[in-house]
Amino acid sequence: MNEDENTLKIAPKGSNEPVVENEEKAKNPRKRIVRSRAEMRAVASSDSRPRQTISFYRYVKIVDLDEFRNRLLDKLSSLDSLGRIYVAKEGINAQMNVPLVYWDKFDTWLQSQPELKGVPYKLAVDEGEMPSFYKLTIKKKPKVVADGLDDESFDVTDTGKYLTASEMNDYIDDEDAVVFDMRNNYEAEVGRFEGAVTSDDSVTFRDELKKTPELLKDHKDKKIAIYCTGGIRCEKASAWLKHNGFKDVRHLKGGIIDYKHQVEKQNLPNKFRGKNFVFDERLGERISEDVISTCHLCKENKSDTHYHCKNQICHALFIGCDDCIKNKKGYCAWYCRQVDKLPKNTKKKMARLYNSYVRKRQPFVKTRLAK
């Protein structure tokens, strides 16, 4: 999951611009990626080897960040693994896929790394038709989740206790408990737990965290269960809520992804409705057959399929129904379709202007995903 929406670049996605991640990469040939995004997408799509999509995270002190990053990059590239991995002095947050033929090698190697010994994986619920990733990026970050919190101002290790899927179900049925969705509005829109409290306007995790103590202020003495996609956001969020005076805060271990696996294995009732939004090419995993959201374009038909606007300057994330996607040809609006017809150089200039002015001033006008 990418929880770093604010670092989004407008570099037209899918264009034939070479991807140069940063200057550092340019200096070090090991990090140089010479293929264009479009080429990488084509290569990934033509690779028919079955892959396992996984995510994992760990808060662990990384002593030498460059060495750790390079070690991961060398090994994972050699195993043709793709994905997006953030490393920071405080740990690692990884979403990736591994060709099944290399799974054993991958698992043995990863578990033998001192920083990652025993780290649990969350296996994707549903691989989908598209490859989940089409390139491998490993980025150094100040934090593994962009939460906007000052970690020095509270005890980050004072996290809440974990909840299993079965305990989560008990919380949902318990009138004295509050279940709170720690994710952004566009994630909760397509899927959430029955009766969960969600924030309607938080487009980033930062926003969400800021608002949570206020949204839950009348429930300080109640039992609180929080959840997110794979569990990482709840680690700091539970400590943050405890710091804000909430006495009994627990969080769903392994997030929605692991909930689904536990429900299936233990034959429990599934109390999650709809889709689990994921931050890769699949954009969602179906957890239940319910479609709880409506098309953003016609505002009539039920749909929970996300699309990115085909106009690369816009690239807005929206929910579309089959009719609207067909009629509007994959664009979020009429003007996006018109803009896309302009000559390439004009579009490049527009993208630059949009990047420097419009997006800076109105970062949250549209819901967007960082890639």
What are the catalytic residues?
228
Interacting residues with Zn ion (CB under 5 A): 295, 297-298, 301, 309, 311, 314, 316, 321, 324, 332, 336
Shortest Å, Cβ 366 to Zn ion: 8
Distance CA 1, CA 297 (A): 26
- The residue whose two tokens read 């429900």 is 263
For 143, residues 6+ apart whose C-beta sits below 8 A from its C-beta are 88, 90, 151
Shortest Å, Cβ 302 to Zn ion: 9
Closest CA to 75 of 40, 116, 24, 124: 116
Greatest CA span in the chain, whole angstroms? Answer: 60
Task: Give buried/exposed letters for 226-241 (b at 16+ CB in 10 A, else e).
Answer: bbbbbbbbbbbbbbbb
Report residue 264 as tokens: 């299936």
Nearer to Zn ion, 61 or 341 (CB): 341
Task: Give buried/exposed letters for 289-321 (b at 16+ CB in 10 A, else e).
Answer: eebebbbbbeeeeebbbbbbbbbbbbbbbbbbb
For 4, residues 6+ apart whose C-beta sits below 8 A from its C-beta are 86, 141, 145, 146, 370
Report residue 349 as tokens: 């200039």
Distance CA 150, CA 154 (A): 8
Distance CA 117, CA 108 (A): 10
Distance CA 222, CA 247 (A): 8
- The residue whose two tokens read 């929910």 is 319
Report residue 91 as tokens: 């740990």
